[in-house]
Chain A
Amino acid sequence: MKKEILQYTALELAAKIKAGEVTAPEALEAVLAQIEEKEKEYHCYVTVDAEGARARAKEVQAQIEAGTLTGPFAGVPVAIKDNMNTQGILTTCSSKILGNFIPTFSAEAVKKLEEAGAVLIGKTNMDEFAMGSTTETSAYGVTKNPWNTAHVPGGSSGGSAAAVAADECFFALGSDTGGSIRQPASFCGVVGMKPTYGTVSRYGLIAYGSSLDQIGPLCKNVSDCAAVLEVIAGHDPKDSTSVEVENTRYTESLVDDVKGLKIGIPRDYFGEGLDPQVKDAVLQAAQVLRAKGAIVEEFDLSLVKYAIPCYYTIAAAEASSNLERFDGIKYGYRTKDYEGLHPMYKKSRSEGFGAEVKRRIMLGSFVLSSGYYDAYYLKALKVKALIKKAFDEAFAKYDVILGPVAPTTAPELGKSLADPIQMYLGDIYTISVNLAGLPGISVPCGKDEKGLPIGLQLIGDCFKEHTLIRAAYTYEQARGEFGTP
């Protein structure tokens, strides 16, 4: 029975619970049993709050039966990436420096899911402070790709993606600053979506690159993603960068129709460095959409290779500032032996942060420092403007841009961290989407010869999630079953 329950998508489970065929506690026990079985191998979670979840599932079930809880995810167990505040539950950002941090409030997106009836299972593993592409910079151990445990799940939302793939939850929330939802979704064969910047409140998301961060869903299919986004999207007066979105009824766009949809494929995405199997799978997916009536065409996007240095300059700069607050005074790790204030700062931070985080903080401090601000930071902001312009021009011609999510499938564990720049190059297709604030979605479209999943990326114009969801849904319907690990 338990294993059968795990087959349901989040929406299917919600329907079953509503119909009284499954109870919230039953669904939770199925997930907890799966976690019991698989966690030691996959290590998707930093914290599993079994006790809290059980209490909540019971409470939710009572409310459902009383008719007082009718939310779209009533009773459905969810996993939350460990960089989103969850009141009363340890939130670490997979860092030692927050190893004992218990937030006193929950992130807005988490609150909305809870209002919709979701049951919080626990917090998923990630790259430390969301800086990384493999979840290997976590201070709490690596997460393994459920499709092949010798490989990474991707990052930084690797724990969330793996948990969805391994049925250790029914859906999850992740965050995406340079591809951190879409890339792990691609590596783990699940659907992952980053909404337009400002669509989902960042209040309660522990900031990495403030002008780039967005929270988004990782789910088993496009329908679940649309439904989750519908719940978590919306203006929040506590987030100044949050936008009033007119129509958040994204599930209305789960329509199987792309007739006349203009799809552009950037030639620059298909150059050197792209794995031929990935290339084939993605181009095949394009054909599927063409067969369904879309007009598919190649074009030159330009500036593609500049997106990475542009992104890293901006993200590192913002991160270096956002992470200054971790000083051992108000919360988090404080070193044991110190003499004086500045030594306390230095030791706490040096002991509490991992290598990649320190690397980016130093780079960020440098590019903002006196004498270099114009040459590096301002220059990057100008390039960002150019990249946005290039996308604006593309979307004047096309409704959706199609391409790969990553140049390869999931690399092996332990192979990526030796050469940071090589690792950064893996972000080439996802990064510019964050720079331009656009929405993007990753849908599984194939597997390589090792059986590792390949993701198809669809990029929409700002605030055009509806078009994006329709295209993704249509593709998914035509593709058929993808399978699980």
Chain B
Amino acid sequence: MSKQYETVIGLEVHVELATKTKIFCGCSTQFGGEPNSHTCPVCIGMPGSLPVLNKQVLEHAIAVGLATNCDITRYSKFDRKNYFYPDNPQNYQISQLYLPICRNGYVEIETEDGKKKIGIHEIHMEEDAGKLIHDEWEDTTLVDYNRSGVPLIEIVSEPDMRSADEVIAYLEKLRMIIQYLGASDCKLQEGSMRADVNLSVREQGAEAFGTRTEMKNLNSFRAIQHAIEGERERQIDLLEEGKAVVQETRRWDDTKGCSYAMRSKEDAQDYRYFPDPDLTPIVVSEEMLAEIRGRQPEFRTEKMARYKEEYDIPDYDIQILTETKHMADLFEQTVAICGQPKKVSNWLMVETLRLLKDRNMDPEDIRFSPEHLAGLIALTDQKAINSTVAKEVFEAMFDTDVDPVQYVEEHGLKTVNDTGALKQTIEQVIAQNPQSVEDYRNGKEKAIGFLVGQTMKAMKGKADPATVNQMLKELL
């Protein structure tokens, strides 16, 4: 009779903050760039260099802390975490151990049993390391310090999660909050959000925690799910065999579907944390907190509730529109210009999402402005363009944020509303297609579709199909 095991999971999530410069120097954080092109004496640890804290990093960290119900530490310091590794130019990482900037928070997730609070033990600021690229040919490793010094916040949860689903829900909630704050774009695949999973198992009902392992290299929700399932199995197998779980760090290989232990004995893992003498303590005042609180945006739950009240659109639409702040802002700003929330919603939910998927883009990458979307909607309202043309104009607008009115002018796409010219064309079409006319008059309703098509062709698509249809019916 096999025992029932409970999985206990805690997460350490690293988030790359969306600042223009690094945490301790004025180098750009822009992704890409030739190796070592975004470096300076500070972020490569030149002798004689000194760090100075980027204020924006502190503000983002506090904002995330406030949004996750944390206590903000009023007297906070940076500590040095000492260990030798080539991606770490000073061979110490500036982080926070003793006095992290935020503590004792939580986020709420939806589970099948209702709402659940996942505790946040602490959030602290730290610097990212450089990148190591293995050179297979030469059997050496190449070091690029562009990423060294990019600001991170590390969010350490309590071991409150019990399943992969809860972990995913927690990560999605965190991501939504942080994206809404504009603190980071939180893209797992790009590494702007990284999750390390701490997992242990224990018999159902047991009080004490089992020995936990840490898993790294989880680059997608899928990998996280597999890793959790795999590690749970592995640990249960060990315990069932009477063996002990070793506390270690394991690297998950999603292609192979298994993990293996990391960290050679050369690393004593004794980090000798001590307060960094080169950086001054941070004293957070009531004023600073009030200012940051004041800048906090409306979060998704509140927004959804407000949309339900203010706009006459279905719940499903609200759900999609508020998934990201960018999309929600676009929606609200467009409606503010032209009204018609349902029409705006349709454009965003149908065409926009389709093109995003097609072009493999994220909502944050949407280029067109609310003014232009409103302009496009106005053109369709005026029946200046028909729906087919509208889609074409939209795609151009999506790709280059071109002014739809301008685009229609330049490409001569206006629907011809001149009834005289239209009537002439229709009469020509009738004359040229006697068979279809016959068919229609004999009761074949579908024949009119063909005639509409022919008319549209003759009009080079610049007619309103509904008007054409009506006119044909009148003339026949």
Contact = CB atoms under 8 A, between A and B. Distances in A.
B52 A237 contact: yes
Interface in A346-385: 365, 368-370, 373, 377
Contacts of B272: 321, 365, 368-370, 373
A324 B47 contact: no
Interface stretch (A28-36, A149-157, A203-211, A405-413): A203-211
A329 B50 CA distance: 19
Contact of B48 (A206, A211, A240, A368): A206
A386 interface: no
B363 interface: no
A325 B47 contact: yes
A205 B46 contact: no
Contact of B91 (A202, A210, A324): A324
A335 to B, nearest CB: 15
A345 interface: yes
Contacts of A377: 274
A336 interface: no
B277 interface: yes
Contacts of A327: 84, 86, 91
Contacts of B80: 321
Contacts of A326: 47
Contacts of B52: 237-240
B48 A205 contact: yes
A105 B272 CA distance: 31
Contact of A324 (B44, B48, B92): B92
Contacts of A373: 272-274
Nearest to A329: B86
Interface in B29-84: 41, 44-53, 80, 82, 84
Contacts of A85: 47-48
Interface string B143-166: 100000000000000000000000
B270 A203 contact: no
A164 to B, nearest CB: 23
B192 to A, nearest CB: 26
A317 B280 CA distance: 18
A14 interface: no
B225 interface: no
A101 B50 CA distance: 18
B183 to A, nearest CB: 23
Given A210-B277, A241-B280, A330-B44, A202 B86 contact: no
Contacts of B89: 325, 330
B46 A202 contact: no
B266 A342 contact: yes
A68 interface: no
Contacts of A48: none
A153 to B, nearest CB: 24
B279 A240 contact: yes
B50 A238 contact: yes
A394 interface: no
A342 B44 CA distance: 20
B278 A241 contact: yes
Interface residues on B, range: 20 to 34
A298 B278 CA distance: 37
Contacts of B82: 321, 324, 368
B278 A325 contact: no
Interface residues on A, range: 35 or more
B48 A204 contact: yes
Nearest to B42: A238
A74 to B, nearest CB: 26
B369 interface: no
Contacts of B219: none
Task: Determine the main DSSP class of B at the interface with A.
Answer: loop
Task: Determine the main DSSP class of A at the interface with B.
Answer: loop
A69 interface: no
Interface string A167-191: 0000000000000000000000000
B274 A240 contact: no
Given A345-B84, A370-B270, A203 B277 contact: no
Contacts of A237: 52
Contact of B46 (A104, A329, A369): A104
A98 interface: yes
Nearest to B274: A368
B90 interface: yes
A255 interface: no
B436 to A, nearest CB: 80
Interface string A205-226: 1110011000000000000000
A91 B48 CA distance: 11
A84 B48 CA distance: 7
B278 A240 contact: yes
Contacts of A329: 86, 143
A321 B48 contact: no
A240 B53 contact: yes
Interface in B129-150: 143
B84 A331 contact: no
Interface string B271-311: 01110011110000000000000000000000000000000
Contacts of B270: 369-370
Nearest to B52: A240
A318 interface: yes
Interface string A61-96: 000000000000000000000001100000101000
Which residue, of B45, B90, B266, B274, has the highest number of chain A Cβ atoms within 10 A?
Answer: B274
A482 B221 CA distance: 78
A318 B49 CA distance: 15
Given A240-B280, A241-B277, A325 B45 contact: yes
Nearest to A242: B50
Given A104-B41, A240-B280, A341 B50 contact: no
A187 B261 CA distance: 58
Interface in A12-42: none
A309 interface: no
A283 interface: no
Contacts of B53: 240
Nearest to B83: A324
B90 A203 contact: no
Which residue, of A203, A321, A369, has the highest number of chain B Cβ atoms within 10 A?
Answer: A321
A325 B49 CA distance: 11
A107 interface: yes
B50 A203 contact: yes
Q: Which 6 pairs, one residue from A and one from B, show the smallest C-beta to C-beta distance?
A: A324-B91, A368-B272, A210-B277, A211-B277, A206-B47, A204-B48
Given A207-B47, A373-B272, 12 more contacts: A105-B48, A239-B52, A240-B50, A240-B279, A240-B280, A241-B50, A324-B84, A325-B47, A331-B47, A373-B273, A373-B274, A377-B274
25 contacts: A85-B47, A85-B48, A91-B47, A103-B46, A205-B48, A206-B48, A207-B47, A207-B278, A237-B52, A238-B50, A240-B280, A241-B50, A321-B92, A321-B272, A324-B84, A324-B91, A325-B45, A325-B89, A330-B46, A341-B86, A342-B84, A345-B84, A368-B272, A373-B272, A373-B274
Interface of B: 41, 44-53, 80, 82, 84, 86, 89-92, 143, 266, 270, 272-274, 277-280
